[in-house]
Amino acid sequence: MKKAYKILPVYTGDVSGFASALYELGGMLVIHDPSGCNSTYNTHDEVRWYKQEALIYISGLNDIDAITGNDDKFINDIVRAANDMKPKFIALANSPLPYLNGTDFKGISKIVEDRTGLPCFYVQTNAMHDYSKGASEAFLAFAKKMLKPASEKIAGGINILGTTPLDHTNTKFSVPEGKTLVSNWAYGSSLEEVLKATSAELNLVVSSTGLAAAEYMKNEFGIPYELLGNYLDVKRGKTRRYIVGEPVISGFVAAQIKEKSGTDFNVIATTEITDGLLSECDRKCHGEDEIREALSDAEVIIGDPMFELISPESARFVRLPHFAMSGRLYRKEIPDLMRLEDYYNEP
Partner 1 sequence: MQTTENDRIRIADASFPKPFKGGLEFNAPAHGTWNIVHIGFKIPKAHQIYICADNCMRGVVMTAAEMGELSRFSSVILEEDDMVFAGRLEESTIEGVTDVLNSLPELPPVVIVFPVCVHKFMGCDINFIYDELSKRFPSVKFVRGFMDPVMQKRGTTPDQRLRKAMFDIIPEGEKDGSVTVMGCDMPLAKDNDIRKLLEAQGVTVRDEASCATLQDYYDLGKCSSVICSYPAGVLGTEAFCKRTGRPMVYMPFTFSYDEIDDALSQIGAVPVFNGRVSSDRTAAGLKTLLGDTEIALDYTAVPRPLSLARFLIEKGFNLKRIYLDAIDPGEQNDFDWLVQNAPDIMLCATMHVKGRRRGKAEGDDKILAIGQKAAWFEGTEYFVNMIEGGGLYGYAGIKAFLKLMEDAFLVPKDTEDIIPRKGLGCECVL
59 binds partner 1, rule: CB under 8 A: yes
113 binds partner 1, rule: CB under 8 A: no
- The residues pairing with 55 across neighbouring beta strands, listed in sequence order, are 28
Which of 69, 70, 80, 114 lies at the binding interface for partner 1 (CB under 8 A)?
Answer: 80
Helix (H, G, I), strand (E, B) or coil at 241: strand
Report the alpha-carbon distance of residue 193 to residue 185 in Å, rounded: 10
Report the alpha-carbon distance of residue 14 to residue 121 in Å, rounded: 16
Nearest-approach distance from CB 30 to partner 1, in angstroms: 6
Contact 17, 135 (CB under 8 A): yes
Helix (H, G, I), strand (E, B) or coil at 111: helix
Nearest-approach distance from CB 53 to partner 1, in angstroms: 6
341 binds partner 1, rule: CB under 8 A: no
Which of 21, 22, 25, 37 lies at the binding interface for partner 1 (CB under 8 A)?
Answer: 37
4 binds partner 1, rule: CB under 8 A: yes
Which of 25, 78, 166, 257 lies at the binding interface for partner 1 (CB under 8 A)?
Answer: 78
Nearest-approach distance from CB 273 to partner 1, in angstroms: 14
CA distances from 143 to 53, 56, 191, 208 (A): 23, 19, 12, 16
Contact 70, 64 (CB under 8 A): yes
Which of 21, 27, 38, 164 lies at the binding interface for partner 1 (CB under 8 A)?
Answer: 38
Contact 257, 344 (CB under 8 A): yes
Q: Toward partner 1, which CB reaches closer, 104 or 233?
A: 104
Nearest-approach distance from CB 250 to partner 1, in angstroms: 20
In this structure, what DSSP letter does residue 318 have?
A: E
Report the alpha-carbon distance of residue 8 to residue 5 in Å, rounded: 6
Q: Catalog residues that contact partner 1 under the rule CB under 8 A.
A: 1, 3-7, 9-16, 30, 34-40, 42-45, 49-50, 53, 55-64, 66-67, 77-78, 80-81, 84-85, 95-97, 100, 125-130, 287, 306, 309, 326-329
